[in-house]
Amino acid sequence: MTARAPDHDLETLATSARARLVQEIDASGAWAADPVWREAFAAVPRHLFVPSYFLPDPAGGYERRWGDDPDPRRREEWLRGAYDDTPLATRVRDGELLSSSSQPSLMAMMLTELRVEDGNAVLEIGAGTGYNAALLAHRLGDDLVTTVDLDPEITESGRQHLRAAGYHPAVVTGDGARGVPARAPYDRIIATCALRTIPGAWPAQCRPGARILAPCATGLIALRVRDARRAEGRFLPTPAYFVPLRGSARPEPPSLGGLPRRARNNDLFRFLLELTAGGLDPYDAYTLWEREGRPARERYGITVRGEESRAWLDTPQGPYVWPLP
């Protein structure tokens, strides 16, 4: 059996790989509006949060890479891959992706768009590997960060990863759609899982003026909380694809066979279909999309009133408003 390389060799490699990742995110401009995040990404060791991950296998299925591989070459591949600017599948069951570590540059952009300030209390929906919570804790301090996930295996492994990296935010096992009222009120909420609608519990657990950032449909919605029952905001221009919120149902995709190919293959039309699922017929959605000049994501928004959420095009006053499921 090949002898395992000394840990200090891997640590040296991790330091250089992390510096390369920071340079890549620098070049992407992801944190241009808040470069303080650069220091967090330079300090937090991502490889401690992905001790193993899965890569798509060309033959089908997934290939596992892990830090305890007895082969030094494969161990080095694992470490280098941990610092690639790419999402990493971390939990796969029966061929289905259950959890992942998001693309670092997308995480940097989302954290920048969260617009945190010193002293802000933040709730993260979807603990994942714990890496995002570590970045938040590095910036704000352990006591101001709470992360929640429905799966106790995910929260326990996330807690272990955080501890290994030297961070100790609150890690809670529970339904993220209900928030974490025991730790409220919050100044910011960030979700790292895809939603069909915005739970009314989130604004209710926020201070007025708080900001909520969440993946919805295939975009990112940024909401400003007006009071405990109302939040409103627009989508960012950036597309975003995340694992669905655990416990939430995803509707069957509609049949698009009768629509023109330019619509079926268009990312913005797919976004509109996701956003209007259950509230607008696909053919009516196509008519709207063409009539309004194939609108980009940032022309859409969401209004939350209590437990009801409505999406809209251009303005919440209409004429294009529909309920979210």
Q: Give me the percent of the chain exceeding a pLDDT of 90.
A: 75
Quick one: pLDDT at residue 264?
Answer: 73
Report the domain count for the chain: 2
Q: Which residues of 133-166 are buried (b: 16+ CB within 10 A; e: fewer)?
A: bbbbbbbbebebbbbbbbbeebbebbbebbeebe
Domain boundary among 96, 114, 132: 114
Q: What stretches of the chain adopt beta strand conformation (E)?
A: 52-56, 62-66, 88-93, 96-101, 122-125, 145-149, 170-173, 186-191, 206-216, 219-227, 230-235, 300-305, 308-313, 321-323
Active-site hit among 99, 100, 102, 105: 99
Q: What one-letter code names the amino acid at 265? A: N
> Per the structure block, which two tokens stand in for 87?
């999402």
pLDDT digits (tens, 9 = 90+) for 275-302: 988 678 888 889 999 999 999 999 999 9
| Residue 66 within a domain | yes
The domain boundary, picked from 114, 139, 174, lies at: 114
Helix (H) / strand (E) containing 272: helix 267-276
Q: What is the pLDDT of residue 3?
A: 39
In a domain, 122, yes or no: no
99 an active-site residue?
yes
Residue range 199-236, pLDDT digits in tens: 999 999 999 999 999 999 999 999 999 999 999 999 99
Find the domain containing 40 and state its range: 1-114
Q: Is residue 316 part of a domain?
A: yes
Q: How far apart are the first and last CA of the chain?
A: 56
Cα separation, 55 vs 57, in Å, equals 6
CA distance 325 to 322: 10
Tell me how far apart the alpha carbons of residues 4 and 200 are, in angstroms, rounded to a whole number.
51
Looking at residue 94, what is its pLDDT?
A: 74
Tell me the β-bridge partners of 313. Answer: 300
- Domain contains 57: yes
Q: What is the mean pLDDT of residues 157-163?
A: 97
Structural domain contains residue 149: no
In a domain, 86, yes or no: yes
3-state secondary structure of 225: strand
Would 19 be classed as within a structural domain?
yes
As a whole number, mean pLDDT of residues 117-143 equals 97
Structural tokens at position 52: 């193993």
**What dihedral angle (degrees, nearest 10) is formed by the CA atoms of 227, 229, 230, 235?**
120
Of 90, 114, 138, the position where a domain reaches its end is 114
Does any domain span residue 213? no
